[in-house]
């Protein structure tokens, strides 16, 4: 039996190219899960380096602290899917650096970055999806977050591995099958009392 034989009847769109902006939590897991699901071309953008505080939501050893998030994500993906073409860029996504992929997946936590990424996706005709969470609340949708006067999420958002992996899983499901759908909920609502 082949690697993806058991998912053939699911009608997943594995022929898509994706650009992930932000690899410190959700983006890292989106890249790994997309590659595991059969996406063969992934572009990663993140100017930031891995900090100790990132390791509570990434399955990485402590010796990667200080290294670029996009590069480490590329290595992690290639360790599990060596045939996946992964390109990492240790800088912010800009118009002139956008690789014109089918999807731009925004996993950033800064409102200005989201505005810029959304404009780039629209300019080049790529589908845009914003994936994010705040503690136990999360959303995955086709527009930038509506933060208003709220502070950007970096360093103030409660964060752990479960929301990052859940949001990443739903994001990959969206780009591969449920592209016309959105989700916004919180983790406790996903559980039923027994």
pLDDT, one tens digit per residue, over 151-192 is 665 556 778 888 999 999 999 999 999 999 999 898 888 888
Distance CA 69, CA 51 (A): 9
Distance CA 117, CA 154 (A): 17
Task: Give the closest residue to 117 by CA, choosing from 131, 105, 125.
Answer: 105
Q: What angle do CA 72, 77, 78 make, to 5 degrees?
A: 95
Per-residue pLDDT at 70: 99
Assigned fold of 11-146+157-190 = Rossmann fold (3.40.50)
Can you give the residue ranges of every domain in the chain? Answer: 11-146+157-190
pLDDT in tens, 22-42: 999 999 999 999 999 999 999
Confidence of residue 18 (pLDDT cuts 50, 70, 90): very high
Confidence of residue 4 (pLDDT cuts 50, 70, 90): confident
pLDDT in tens, 112-151: 999 999 999 999 999 999 999 888 889 999 988 765 555 6
Task: Give the closest residue to 68 by CA, choosing from 28, 109, 107.
Answer: 28
Sign of the CA dihedral with 170 first, then 142, 87, and 72 last: negative
Residues 187-191: contacts with CB under 8 Å, at least 24 apart: 187/136, 187/138, 187/162, 187/163, 188/136, 190/166
């Amino acid at each position: 039996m082949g690697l993806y034989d058991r998912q053939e009847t699911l009608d997943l769109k594995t022929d898509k190219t994706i650009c992930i902006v932000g690899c410190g939590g959700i983006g890292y897991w989106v890249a790994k899960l997309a590659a595991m699901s059969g996406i063969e071309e992934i572009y990663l953008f993140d100017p930031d380096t891995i900090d100790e505080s990132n390791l509570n939501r990434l399955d990485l050893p402590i010796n990667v602290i200080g290294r670029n998030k996009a590069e480490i994500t590329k290595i992690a993906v290639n360790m599990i899917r060596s045939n996946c073409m992964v390109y990492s860029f240790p800088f912010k996504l800009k118009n002139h650096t956008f690789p014109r992929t089918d999807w731009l997946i925004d996993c950033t936590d800064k409102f200005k970055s989201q505005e810029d990424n959304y404009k780039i996706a629209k300019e080049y005709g790529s589908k845009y999806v914003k994936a994010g969470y705040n503690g136990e609340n999360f959303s995955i949708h086709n527009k930038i977050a509506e933060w208003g006067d709220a502070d950007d999420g970096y360093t103030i958002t409660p964060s752990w591995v479960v929301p990052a992996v859940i949001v990443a899983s739903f994001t990959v499901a969206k780009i591969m099958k449920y592209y016309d759908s959105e989700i916004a909920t919180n983790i406790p609502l996903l559980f039923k009392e027994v």
